[in-house]
């Protein structure tokens, strides 16, 4: 019997009824993508998620890197999404990357623990391939490290590393913000007030992940006035390194006070820039980057 080709399978998938409306949010799973199996075979990934030999365009046969295995693997506690659907974007890899970042920011992935791509893939309802790709991106960002034949270990941020990252952020952003303070019209700074107010709301929630995203959005808004995409990318990378992983979702009362003080500096900075008070703005910028990571 002739085997149905990728085009036939895609047509069948497109004609299937959409049952998403009948499912609770907690039952959402990342949908299978047409042609994923074909792509995996091209890249040397078998149907069961294991790696096979692949041949480069000009090089010899090499073994595809897997980074973990599942033989006799001890079950690992996996991150939960508290009933929220994992699916947020069209790209499966992008969905998984967002979900893993949220789990890291919320402390659902524990620093020092090793997680395998197949096990996480089972949790998200996808193959190991997009999880492995997302984890490789997190490894580039410094949030996890590859453990050969096991998976990916969530890194622990030491006090010295955090201090060094804070110093680099200050060296990068303080001169840029002060240059912008002298050249950007006051009304443009006023447009950032909603972002500053949002950091205050996020701080009051006491959730590290929520505040981290609001803080990132505010700093992106400020640096965006420079019109330098490379600056934005570097600043984003540094921000993620200081935020991921945090090792806990909710902060205590002392941590909440710190977050609210940090947010208050955002609001005060916008006020000073709108008032064109450069001296006050300079003091606030130096204080902000001298006390937060």
Summarize pLDDT for 260-287 with one digit per residue, the tens.
999 999 999 999 999 999 999 999 999 9
Does some domain include residue 20?
Answer: no
Measure the CA–CA gap between 243 and 260, rounded to whole angstroms.
16
The answer to the question of residue 271 being in a domain is yes
> Does one domain contain both 173 and 283?
yes
First vs last C-alpha separation in the chain: 63
Any idea what the CATH number is for the domain that residue 163 is in? 1.20.120.530
Residues 137, 240: one domain? no
Angle between helices 278-291 and 253-274 (to 10 degrees): 160
Question: Per the confidence metrics, is the pTM higher than 0.85?
Answer: no
- What pLDDT digit, counting tens, does each position of 224-270 carry? 999 999 999 999 999 988 887 655 556 666 778 999 999 999 999 99
Choosing from 102, 135, 156, the residue where a domain stops is: 156
Q: Three-class SS of residue 154?
A: strand
The residue segments making up the domain with residue 111 are 71-156
Task: Answer yes or no: are the C-beta atoms of 172 and 238 closer than 8 Å.
Answer: yes
Residue (of 182, 187, 191) closest to 277 by Cα position:
182
Within a domain: 49: no
Average pLDDT on 192-206 reads 95
Q: Based on the domain organization, do 168 and 107 belong to the same domain? A: no
Taking alpha carbons only, the member of 197, 127, 114 closest to residue 155 is: 114
Say if residue 234 is in the same domain as residue 255. yes
**Closest C-alpha to 284, from 208, 177, 182:** 177
Domain assignment of residue 18, yes or no:
no
Statement to judge: residues 280 and 166 lie in one domain: yes
Q: What is the pLDDT of residue 142?
A: 87
Q: How far is CA 119 from CA 125, 185, 221, in A?
A: 10, 52, 37
pLDDT score of 219 more than 80: yes
Query: 48-93 pLDDT, tens per residue?
Result: 443 333 333 433 332 333 445 444 444 444 444 444 444 444 488 8
**Is the domain of 178 the same as that of 278?**
yes
CB 240 within 8 A of CB 171: no
Query: Does some domain include residue 5?
Result: no
Q: Tell which of 156, 183, 210 closes a domain.
A: 156
Asked which of 128, 156, 184 is the last residue of a domain, the reply is 156
Q: Which CATH number covers residue 112?
A: 1.10.10.10
For the chain, percent helix, then strand, then coil, each to nearest 5? 60, 5, 35
Q: How far is CA 219 from the centre of its chain?
A: 16
Domain count of the fold of the chain: 2
Per the domain annotation, does 169 fall within a domain? yes
């Amino acid at each position: 019997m002739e085997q149905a080709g990728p085009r036939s399978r895609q047509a069948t998938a497109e004609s299937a009824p959409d049952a998403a409306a009948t499912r609770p949010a907690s039952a959402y799973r990342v949908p299978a993508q047409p042609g994923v199996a074909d792509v995996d075979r091209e890249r040397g990934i078998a149907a069961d998620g294991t790696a096979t030999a692949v041949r480069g365009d000009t090089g010899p046969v090499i073994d595809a890197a897997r980074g973990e295995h599942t033989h006799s693997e001890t079950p690992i506690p996996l991150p939960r999404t508290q009933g929220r659907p994992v699916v947020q974007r069209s790209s499966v890899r992008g969905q998984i990357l967002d979900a893993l970042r949220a789990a890291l920011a919320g402390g659902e992935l524990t620093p020092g623990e090793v997680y395998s791509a197949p096990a996480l893939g089972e949790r998200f309802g996808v193959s190991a391939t997009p999880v492995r790709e997302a984890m490789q991106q997190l490894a580039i960002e410094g949030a996890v490290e590859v453990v050969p034949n096991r998976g990916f270990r969530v890194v622990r941020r030491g006090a010295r590393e955090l201090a060094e990252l804070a110093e680099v952020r200050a060296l990068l952003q303080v001169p840029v913000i002060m240059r912008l303070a002298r050249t950007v019209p006051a009304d443009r700074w006023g447009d950032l007030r909603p972002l500053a107010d949002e950091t205050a709301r996020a701080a009051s929630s006491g959730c590290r992940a929520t505040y981290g995203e609001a803080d990132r959005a505010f700093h992106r808004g400020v640096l965006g006035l420079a019109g330098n995409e490379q600056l934005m990318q570097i600043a984003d990378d540094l921000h993620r390194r200081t935020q991921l992983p945090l090792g806990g979702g909710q902060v205590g009362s002392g941590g909440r006070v710190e977050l609210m003080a940090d947010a208050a500096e955002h609001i005060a900075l916008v006020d000073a820039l709108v008032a064109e008070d450069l001296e006050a703005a300079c003091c606030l910028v130096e204080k902000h980057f001298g006390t937060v990571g």
